[in-house]
Chains A and B, each alone.
Chain A
Amino acid sequence: MTKSSNKIDSQNLNVDVHYLTRVEGHGNIVVDVKEGKLAKCEFQVIESPRFFESMLVGRSIWEAQHLTSRICGICACGHTLASIKAAEDALGVKPSAEVVMLRKLLLYTEMLDSHILHIYILVAPDLLGVKSIVPLIKTHRPVIEMALRMKRMSDYGAEVLAGRHIHPISYVIGGLTQLPSREGLEKLHTLMLESRKDGEATVKIIKTLKFPQFQRPTQYMSLTSDDEYAMYDGDLMVNGEKSKVRDYRKLFMESVVDYSKAKISKINGKSYAVGSLSRFNNNFNKLHKKAKAVAAELGLKAPCYNPYLNTAAQLVEWVHCLEESITILEKILKDGLKEEGVVVASWPKRSEVGKIKYKPNTGTGCVEVPRGSLFHEYTIDDSAHITAANCVIPTNQNIGNLEDDMRKLVPELLGKKTQEEITLDLEMLARSYDPCISCATHLLDVSFV
């Protein structure tokens, strides 16, 4: 941690946050100002890489989802869905409308879960001036119980839909290995209706908290769709222009920096942001009306250029996902689910192993996960074994943007705040992106230079 310094020095600053806490994974913030000049401003990802893209090579595409959900414990459902979509794209499998609806429900459930975890457990302690949720268990017990109740609701959703939240079980290529039970869905519906008032209470709380004032317009990328607030499907949108998901490599460029295990990603040579605020800025009009009302209550308007307000955008999305989930659940409870979406756990069947020939192909899948657009891409041979894989994770895409934010923010604070205050502001800035560093190190480009 930083050395104590009460004297405010406008010429020199040295921030070295070794192991940023309350984030997923391991990262450092290093800022060095010498004689008024910003000599260093880095967000270093130091997590040990896990080599998922290499692990995938040679394995059956039917195993890909099982393996890649293990990239991240928080976004396991998102990785599952991006993986399944990429595999289906490669194999030419088309899921039924009902299966797509259940997948959206699972994705919303994870969004609900992750956003509430971030808002209460990772960000709220900063805004309340404490170091973690632990002292809040004593001082703010009813709020913590509420947060856990909200989290429990979404965890229960993933349990009912997919068997569990961390590394879901029943969502596979082509459909589900088992339909969720009616009793489970009914209970989830009840829990979601009850959660509405916890959501309202959360809006009241977040409204009273003070986010730092800081503005930096940047490029915002997300999925977009004419039909809905895009999360499961759509085209990519940046600077008002659309492109196809499969062209993602043409849209953004990645480069390796020597201080970090994560690559830096750019569009038109400049950094860009993904995540709640980007989706909010790009797709505001498609939000549920209750979510729009919450945005108004929080004073959040699109476009919003304050990265700290990503947390507020998460709350807006929380309300959106809750309302969309309730709508889907009510449709299912009214119409029932048809068995046609149920497929066997793993293809090919034992008796088919080695007998089916596939078309060698490359498939790409993208979904919006809590931290932004997540891409999986697999190339398969004629036995449906993976010959190359690429996973692009939101945190990686955000790192360049975060560093550019820090470059603008540090000079604005120099001479006005103490070193500790600046350090905290930088930590909070990094945390507002909800970085998921453990995933970020798996970002790679498989093209060999």
Chain B
Amino acid sequence: MKKQSKPKVAFFDFTDCEGCQLQFANMGNTFLELTELVDIVSFREVMSENGQDYDVAIVEGSITTDNDVARIKKIREKAKILVAFGSCATIAGVNGIKNRSPLELAKQRVYGDKAGLINTIKAMPLDAVVKVDYYILNCPPYIPEIIAVLKAILLGKPYPLPNYAVCVECKMNENVCRYEKDQECMGPVTRAGCNSWCINNGNRCYGCRGLVEKPASDAAKDILQKYGLKVEDILNSFTLYNDSMGEKYDQEFK
């Protein structure tokens, strides 16, 4: 029988902290196993080779310059499968906060009188510019989910994202709700899939996975009602990762 050739995988990064890619190095031996299943042809952070021929493009970071727009379009043309990797790539992540003030002001705050040297546009997730086939959420991505998505890709199956709130996972983990401790938490409106990572560690949810589709429904509703909150009450905090919520907030409340 003819051995099927291994899929060629390339990693690309746009404007970001490169933490997403590092999660691969943090996988330990799973990373070694992965190198046996796929051919990594380009991974600038760890190798000098730069393969131009790939099937799967795993792309992290947000689009923030005209050059980025052109580059992601080229990557899309070559890739059979394009994976948006991490919050920066899927929902613009913390980069989206930049969009909350005029670009000129942001440039000037940072580069003073040399602001003119800087070329920047509104921070955008990848799917604002190109079609995305698979989404790996979270900042940084949650390793069990990375593996689940990669498995789906290798098997040629879709990877449906959970469409319930982080609260569901949080309850299953039997955490004391942050609202019980007079705290705010984005769990009721945030899409699950991280196994309530932050709350398990005593913190609250900051919403790094983006909004669940119907944020006011299901588990979210119960929590909010119990503590006498409206969805809007927590949208302000939501601008940490999701700038479009910031715009919505501004329109409705300012």
The size class of the interface chain B forms with chain A is: 35 or more
Instruction: Report, nearest first, the 7 A-B pairs whose CB atoms are least far apart.
Output: A73-B19, A178-B202, A132-B47, A177-B202, A163-B201, A131-B48, A54-B106
Chain B contacts for A349, CB-based, 8 A:
181-183
B residues 36-75 in Cβ contact with A at 8 Å = 40, 43-50, 64-65, 67-68
Is the Cβ of A25 less than 8 Å from the Cβ of B18?
Answer: yes
Which A residues, 138 to 179, have Cβ-Cβ distances below 8 Å to chain B?
144-145, 148-149, 151-152, 155, 162-167, 169-170, 172, 176-178
**Is B204 at the interface (CB under 8 A from chain A)?**
yes
Q: Is the CB of A48 within 8 A of B64?
A: yes
Contact with B along A240-276 (1 / 0, CB 8 A): 0000000000000000101001000000000000000
Nearest Cβ on chain B to A265's Cβ, whole angstroms: 15
> In the bound complex, how far is the Cα of B35 from the Cα of A145, in angstroms?
13
Contact across chains for A51 and B110 when beta carbons are under 8 A apart: yes
Across the interface, do A134 and B40 meet the contact criterion of CB distance under 8 Å? Answer: yes
Measured CA separation A174–B204 after assembly (Å)? 16
Q: Which A residues touch B19, using CB under 8 A?
A: 70, 72-74, 76, 166-167
* Residue pair A256, B111 in contact (C-beta under 8 Å): yes
Q: A444 contacts B110, CB within 8 Å?
A: yes
B243 to chain A, nearest CB (A): 10
Contacts of A148 in B (CB 8 A): 28-29, 31-32
In Å, the complex CA distance between A176 and B202 comes to: 8
- B128 close to A (CB within 8 Å): no
Query: Do the beta carbons of B184 and A54 come within 8 Å of each other?
Result: no
Chain B, range 180-236, C-beta contacts under 8 Å to A: 181-184, 197-198, 200-204, 206
| B97–A261 touching, CB < 8 Å | no
Bound CA span A179–B203, Å: 12
- How many Å lie between the Cα of A37 and that of B201 in the bound state? 58
Partner of A134, one of B47, B101, B120, B201: B47
Residue of B whose beta carbon sits closest to that of A448: B112
Partner-B contacts on A (CB < 8 A): 19, 21-25, 47-51, 53-55, 57-59, 63, 66-67, 70-74, 76, 117, 121-122, 125, 131-134, 137, 144-145, 148-149, 151-152, 155, 162-167, 169-170, 172, 176-178, 256, 258, 261, 342, 344-346, 349-351, 438-439, 442, 444-449
Which partner residue on chain B sits nearest A390 by CB separation?
A: B110
A165 adjacent to B139 (CB under 8 Å): no
Q: Is the CB of B17 within 8 A of A438?
A: yes
Within the complex, what minimum Cβ distance (angstroms) separates B69 from chain A? Answer: 12
Cβ 8 A contact of B110, one of A49, A73, A351: A49
CA distance A125 to B45 in the complex (A): 13
